[in-house]
Amino acid sequence: MYLGDRTWPELGEYFAEESLALVPLGSTEQHGPHLPESTDHRIAEALAREAADRTGYLCTPTINVGVSPHHRQFNGTMWVDAPVFRDYVESLTRNLTYHGIDRVVFVNAHGGNVQHLREVGRRVRDDEVAYAVEWMWDESIPDLVDDLFEYNGPHGGPKETAMMLHIDDQLVREDQFERARDEGIRDVANFEGLRKHGARTFYDAIDNTESGVLGDQTDATREKGEQLFEAASDQLVKLAEWLDDQPFEDLMPRDHV
């Protein structure tokens, strides 16, 4: 069920019976010469909508802009400062609790959001108003991702490229795959520029990659994207169903020993 397509009486019926919501979040940022800047939030929304369709749980509108200052040197990247992002997401989550939601899955597709969503989850849990958990699609299926791609990458790589080929291939510039690979970092695992003597010495994507992306995009296919999407959707459905089954008091902080 997508919140934005329902009337308030219809939503009242949902809130009378259910207390879980899926909140898709991503970013609007550079994803190389081959993928649109909407990549992250399109992936998050597609997965959240799929899980909502399969389970009947509520899916909210998507948060399209996230914490992305590390991509700011590339044209068009949008971001909000981390404290603003945290406060906005917390406010939105508390808005949902006003209507009766007490458990939330942040369906996330942008790595820069992760730590901030965890902080929001801690805030609302400490106040015992809701249990909110961050879910990152590729982290739910790590073995499959590793099996499908020899040279993976955490940003704009073959896994995101394959997902976008499955979700909306008209937005993918397939003639730019080789450029993305050759101007980026193909073999991330063996790239020595990411760390020096145990320290991360870079702050922005452009410090390491001219094309803004990592991995070998030429390894992405529609078929692999479909596999990723179906497997990640399955995991999200299972998470939502598990969370819905938990007694609320068991999700709250435990007492001091």
Q: In the prediction, which pLDDT does 247 show?
A: 97
Q: Where are the domains of the chain?
A: 3-250
Which of these, 192, 183, 168, lies nearest to 218 by C-alpha position?
A: 183
Q: 161, 35 in Cβ contact below 8 A?
A: yes
Q: What's this model's pTM, rounded to 2 decimal places?
A: 0.95
CA–CA separation, 150 and 189 (whole Å): 11
Mean pLDDT for all residues in the chain: 96
Output the pLDDT for position 212. 92
CA distance 195 to 206: 15
> pLDDT per residue over 207-232, tens digit each?
888 889 999 999 999 999 999 999 99
Q: What is the mean pLDDT of residues 96-125?
A: 98
Greater pLDDT, 194 or 147 = 147
d(CA 57, CA 10): 13
The tens digit of pLDDT for each residue in 67-90 reads 999 999 999 999 999 999 999 999
CA 221 to the chain's CA centroid: 20
Residues 52-60: what's their mean pLDDT? 98
Share of the chain above pLDDT 90, in %: 89
How many whole angstroms separate alpha carbon 225 and alpha carbon 233?
Answer: 12
Residue 186 corresponds to which amino acid? R
Q: Is residue 39 predicted with pLDDT exceeding 90?
A: yes
157 contacts 216 by C-beta, under 8 angstroms = yes
Cβ pair 152, 158 in contact under 8 A: yes
The answer to whether residues 85 and 113 touch, using CB atoms and an 8 Å cutoff, is yes
Q: What is the mean pLDDT of residues 102-109?
A: 98
Average pLDDT over residues 40-69: 98
**Is the pLDDT confidence value at 195 over 90?**
no
CATH topology of domain 3-250: Rossmann fold (3.40.50)
- Count Cβ neighbours within 10 Å for each residue of 144-166 and write b for 16 or more, e otherwise: bbeebbebbbebbbbbbbbbbbb
Q: Check if the beta carbon of residue 21 is closer than 8 Å to that of residue 60.
A: yes
Beta-strand ranges (E) seen in 17-151 are: 20-25, 58-59, 103-108, 131-136
* Sign of the CA dihedral with 211 first, then 205, 109, and 149 last: positive
Q: Give the residue among 85, 107, 121 at the shortest CA–CA distance from 40.
A: 107
Percent of the chain with pLDDT over 70: 100
Write down the residue that tokens 């299926």 correspond to: 141
Q: Which of 35-49, 105-119, 167-181, 197-211 has the lowest mean pLDDT?
A: 197-211
Label residue 106 by pLDDT band (50, 70, 90).
very high
Contact (Cβ atoms closer than 8 angstroms) between residue 85 and residue 66 = yes
**pLDDT(21) > 80:** yes
